[in-house]
Amino acid sequence: MELSLGEMLLIALAIVVLFGPDKLPEIARGLGEGVRKMKGAVEDIKTEIMKEADNPVSEIKKEIEKVKQSAQEFNPLAEKNTQEALAQRTPKIDLSEDDTHQGPVSR
C-alpha cells in the first residue's frame, strides 16, 4: 500500500486537528515505538523459522555425507572379483549335453 504525498499530508492534518499540535510528538513517539516492536517481533519470528528450517537441512546434509562416504568406500573391482570367485566355485552345466534336461514344457 503506497501513500502519495498528498495523502500523507491529509492524514497528518487530520491527526493535528483531532489531537492538537501538543500531542503530535507524543503520538509520533508512540508510533515509532510500535514500529520498532513490530520489527523486533518479525526478526524473532524469522530467527525461529530459520532454526526450524535448518534442522531438516542439516539432516539431509548428514545423509548426503553418508552416501558420499559409502560411494568412496565402494570398490566395484572387489565385487567383480567376488562374483568371479563364485562363478569358479559353481560348475557350469552344459544343458545340450545333459540327457535328463527336458527344456521348457509347452501345454
Is residue 53 in a domain? yes
Q: How many residues are listed for the chain in this entry?
A: 107
Most confident stretch, 32-41, 59-68, 82-91:
32-41
pLDDT score recorded for residue 42:
94
Q: How far is CA 44 from CA 19, 36, 96, 97, in A?
A: 34, 12, 79, 81
pLDDT > 70 fraction of the chain, expressed in percent and rounded: 64
pLDDT score recorded for residue 79:
61
Per-residue pLDDT at 101 exceeds 90: no
Cell representation of residue 52: 526450524
Is residue 42 in a domain? yes
Is residue 46 in a domain? yes
Is residue 93 in a domain? no
Is residue 71 in a domain? yes
Is residue 41 in a domain? yes
Which domain, by its residues, includes 60?
15-88
pLDDT score recorded for residue 28:
86
What's the number of domains the chain is made of?
1
Is residue 106 in a domain? no
Q: Using CA of residue 46, residue 51, residue 52, residue 55, what is the dihedral sign?
A: positive
pLDDT score recorded for residue 86:
62
